[in-house]
Amino acid sequence: MDTTLQDALVGQVLDGRYRVDARIAVGGMATVYRALDTRLDRVLALKVMHPTLAADVSFVERFIREAKSVARLAHPNVVQVFDQGAEGAYVYLAMEYVAGCTLRDVLRERGALQPRAALDILEPVLAALGAAHRAGFVHRDMKPENVLIGDDGRVKVADFGLVRSVDTVTSTTGTVLGTVSYLAPEQIEHGTADPRVDVYACGVVLYEMLTGGKPHAGDTPAQVLYKHIHEDVPPPSAVVPGLAYELDELVAAATARSPELRPQDAVALLAQVREAHAALRDEQLDAVPPQAVAAAHDNAEDRTSVIPRALTSPTLGFARAGGPPSRPLPVNEHDVPDAEAALNRTSVLRTPPAEPSRRRLGRPRRGLVTVVAAVLLVLGAGAGVWYINSGQFTRVPPLMTRTEDQARERLDKAGLELGKVKHAYSDTVKKGTVISSDPSSGARIRSNDSVTLTISDGPKTVKVPDLSGQELAKARARLKEEGLAPGMVTQEFSEDVPSGSVIGTTPAAGTVRRAGSAIALTVSKGSPIDVPDVTGDDLDSAKQDLQEAGLKVKVSAQQVNSEYDKGKVARQTPAGDSQAAEGDTVTLTVSKGPVMVEVPDVVGDSVDDAHQQLEDAGFQVDEDRGLLGLFGDTVKKQSVEGGEKAPKGSKITITIR
């Protein structure tokens, strides 16, 4: 029974834009729907948080964090996030709709894969994770359920719901959020997660693709966790004899129990995978694994769970919506987890097929059709070609990130011709490898047709032009013309370069930089001018002196008390005897006159007491002893009589006899 009719959200339009057409899958945090963006007229996947969780601020923040994190990863192997929003109780992500299935579906139906197919799937996964790692994020929940394989053969990584910034991932206390079978030892023991935990999980996924089973098994999740910490992942050749030594080495390197022994991130592992791939012979890559009967899959260990680090009583969440892509999953009383279980799993984007027609007598069962489709998909990923209609038509094999020679070889095997070879710059695709093809990978074309390739020339680089002597505006325009960005501007005095013109750049002219790089400019302030000291002068006289020196004058609206008479210049900025450029402005502050303070009467006091009183009142003290006062200690007279007022800071002379 198609239970989408029972879903209250089906048929509604969220935010006046997204028409919900059908439910795809139900997960622990969210339900995924197929929807139509009525504004752009495109089909997309709508991931809607369960309304019961939308009331929890922490889960809403985690949900939104997924949108922001993935939106920053503009990579062809990452499921793209288009939009994020909320309407009423519904918090949603609008995401790329991927027609196909998950790697878990393929493994469940097919079992072990040929090494070529396994590496062809792993490479784009690592490319996606590498982009995330270099952008500062860790996925933390890599597993076959989160690897989507499109009908066109493209591989994409989904479900960045547990993503964290590399800089902010720290040890947690008491629990680990993840999936039992793919947790790295340091996640279990310490709760820490850096890019190497994704490397470990990818090593486990590679083992699973090569052997059809997980490296660590147990009756309980606690037993599996214990093995992650205390036992090495066995070589795949121990299960599938005859597998190449290079494949054993890849798995061993990625799943080393000590994170220091693993590749530092997915980019480093990808380099090792490509090196191993290139070293393997065709017969090693195309070795057929032993056929295995698909057993009932107990996915208890595949759930994203909160695991107590003590390993004594793991708390498992409910399994995510699983199974091969068929009609939307029904909801019954067993599908509705309790609150705690709902918080402990993530959801996977699933792809619904076209609406099934009424089943006729003798039609193959859906399960068999799914098995055949999964096998064809694996063969398509491994050999890079799908032949249909007895060879009259074929599909363009996956060519992304292949060298021109490798792409030519794949096209030959597919019975296709290499047409034009174009070149384009790319910041993300390695120089010498395929950026795109026309027709694109997976396109259905006639045998012997030609395919045009676009090869990466790597990032576009530009030589920094010589801008010396150019006016600042023209220099900025020149940088933009050359494909560079004007950067920070600093000013310096120069006897040789006119004011406002460029002295030089950082980096220097002739240096090669990636297009779009910012170039700092040093601009001349012209020859330095000695600033006259006009403090204490009349305001009009001070203005004239400064203007004759080539400077502009600004008078501050604020006046201050100072030692100078009212109307005189109390201070200036920049100060006198400093240097400024022609046309610079000097700000003058006018004096309100000194602060008048009452003078203490110190006649008859001892010299020490007189000093103390006068200085406390804010005056300077000078002594007049003369011949008669050389040995005296009493003040006989003071220059300003006690009780009168004098400018604060002025000098009072005391006569001693």
Q: pLDDT tens for residues 88-118?
A: 888 898 999 988 888 998 999 889 999 999 9
* C-alpha to C-alpha distance for 196 and 186, rounded to whole angstroms: 10
What pLDDT sits at residue 314?
32
Beta-ladder partners of 23: 33
The one-letter code for the residue type at 7 is: D
What pLDDT sits at residue 402?
86
Contact 84, 64 (CB under 8 A): yes
CA distances (Å), origin 21, targets 11, 30, 32, 43, 98: 6, 16, 11, 10, 15
Residue 647: helix, strand or coil by DSSP? Answer: strand
Encode pLDDT of 22-60 as tens digits.
Answer: 998 776 677 889 999 999 889 999 988 888 777 777 777
Q: Which CATH architecture has domain 102-315+353-358?
A: Orthogonal Bundle (1.10)
Active site residues: 141
What pLDDT sits at residue 178?
60
Backbone φ, ψ for residue 240 (5° rounding): -120, 90
Burial class (CB in 10 A: 0-12, 13-18, 19+), 102: buried
* C-alpha to C-alpha distance for 246 and 236, rounded to whole angstroms: 11
Q: Which CATH number fits domain 461-523: 1.10.3080.10, 3.30.10.20, 3.40.228.10, 1.20.1050.90?
A: 3.30.10.20
The one-letter code for the residue type at 397 is: P
Query: CATH class for domain 596-656?
Result: alpha beta
Task: Give the rounded distance of the alpha carbon of 334 from its chain centre.
Answer: 38
1-97: CATH superfamily:
Phosphorylase Kinase; domain 1 (3.30.200.20)
Residue 572: which of 520, 609, 518, 534 has the closest Cα?
534
Contact 475, 521 (CB under 8 A): yes
The one-letter code for the residue type at 108 is: R
pTM of the model: 0.47
Q: Which CATH number fits domain 528-593: 1.10.510.10, 3.90.1150.10, 3.30.10.20, 3.40.50.1440?
A: 3.30.10.20
* C-alpha to C-alpha distance for 236 and 234, rounded to whole angstroms: 6
Residue 186: helix, strand or coil by DSSP? Answer: helix
What pLDDT sits at residue 359?
34
Domain ranges of the chain: 1-97, 102-315+353-358, 384-456, 461-523, 528-593, 596-656
Range 459-462, long-range pairs (CB < 8 A, 24+ positions): 459/425, 459/426, 459/427, 459/514, 459/515, 460/425, 460/514, 460/515, 461/512, 461/513, 461/514, 461/515, 462/512, 462/513, 462/514, 462/515, 462/517
Do the domains at 461-523 and 528-593 have one common CATH topology? yes
Contact 144, 102 (CB under 8 A): yes
Low-confidence residues of the chain, pLDDT below 70?
A: 1-6, 27-28, 65-66, 69, 161-178, 291-392, 427-428, 628-629
End-to-end CA distance of the chain: 120
What pLDDT sits at residue 395?
84
* C-alpha to C-alpha distance for 611 and 604, rounded to whole angstroms: 13
CATH for the stretch 384-456? 3.30.10.20
Residue 17's CB: how many other CB atoms inside 10 A? Answer: 16
Instruction: State the residue for tokens 């210049």.
Output: 569
What pLDDT sits at residue 363?
36
